[in-house]
Amino acid sequence: MKSNFVLKIAALAVAGGVSLSATSALASPGDSFNRPALGASWTITAGSLSISNRQLVGTTGSLGLFNGANSNTAASAVVFLGGTDLEYGAVALGNIGAGNNAFVKIQAQNGAGSFDHAAFYTGNNGAGTFFTLASPVPSPAILDAFFCGTTAVMRITSAAGIQTYSHNYGTTFGAGGGLGTFGSVKLDNFVAFNGNARCTTAASADRQSDQDGPEDPIPASEMQGDKDLSLK
């Protein structure tokens, strides 16, 4: 599976103009969804998740935890829009089975075929901070989420560049990683990481490399708020 995983990452990098690290894929637990059925690697806590055309898909409001990420505090996935309907892809971090987790998502709700909003929520698309992105993000986009102390950082990488945001939850959620879906979104190349490594390398000399956290993410509270249509 790892060889296929790296090949899929390389293909996305070429097709989308996005830089990704194959080294992290080899060194970290993850799932490239290159099989017919989801199987026992995932525990579904809400809705229904499955594999279609080697990508993860789900019913609206679905959430699942990757069983191999029970010691990880950061995660990443590639998010593809499946149409112009209301869609989001989310990375969840923490005790997902108990609902004690951060829920970091990017969302398309303007019907323009690009991601235009994001949120730092809890649980399964629960309460939190919802905001308009600084600029629309084309699909596919890589969604990274990790914690520095009690502050969660979201990094969105696409052919249009990189946007980074942060939100202080005022608490930590522990280890664990998973994914959430809404609408016809598709997710791929899930990877779990050590979040502390990203925080400590952000201020180092190589902080511009693919594995580094952003030096100055924009606080989500400084972005324009909006109504989250997924909560209607």
3-state helix/strand/coil string of 75-100: EEEEEECCCCCCEEEEEEEEEHHHCE
Spatial distance between the Cα atoms of 148 and 172, rounded to a whole number of angstroms: 9
Tell me the pLDDT tens digit for each residue of 52-103. 999 999 999 999 999 999 999 999 999 999 999 999 999 999 999 999 999 9
Question: What integer pLDDT is reported at residue 80 of this predicted model?
Answer: 98
Q: What is residue 12's DSSP assignment?
A: H
Whole-number percent of the chain with pLDDT over 90: 76
Domain 2-231, CATH 3.40.50.720 — does that match? Answer: no
pLDDT at residue number 212: 43
Sole residue written with tokens 């790892």: 2
Return all residues near 169 (Cβ < 8 A) that are at least 6 apart.
102, 120, 122, 150, 151, 152
More confident position, 98 or 24: 98
The mean-pLDDT minimum among 108-117, 120-129, 162-171, 209-218 falls in 209-218
CA 14 to chain centre: 20
> CA-CA distance, 69 to 174, in Å (whole number)?
11
pLDDT reported for residue 205: 30
Half-sphere exposure of residue 112: CA atoms within 13 angstroms, side-chain side = 11
Rounded to whole angstroms, the Cα distance separating 155 from 212 reads 10
- 207, pLDDT greater than 80: no
Is-contact 216 120, C-beta < 8 A? Answer: no
Mean pLDDT of the chain: 86
- Residues above pLDDT 70, as percent of the chain: 81
Position 163 confidence tier, pLDDT thresholds 50, 70, 90:
very high
Tens digits of residue pLDDT in 93-145? 999 999 999 999 999 999 999 999 999 999 999 999 999 999 999 999 999 99
Lowest mean pLDDT among 114-118, 166-170, 195-199: 195-199
Q: Using an 8 Å Cβ cutoff, are 113 and 119 in contact?
A: no
Q: Whole-angstrom Cα distance, residue 12 to residue 17?
A: 8
Write down how long the chain is. 232
Closest CA to 48 of 181, 231, 229: 181
Closest by CA position to 156, among listed 181, 123, 134: 134
The answer on pLDDT for 3 being more than 90 is no
Q: What average pLDDT does this structure show over 140-151?
A: 96
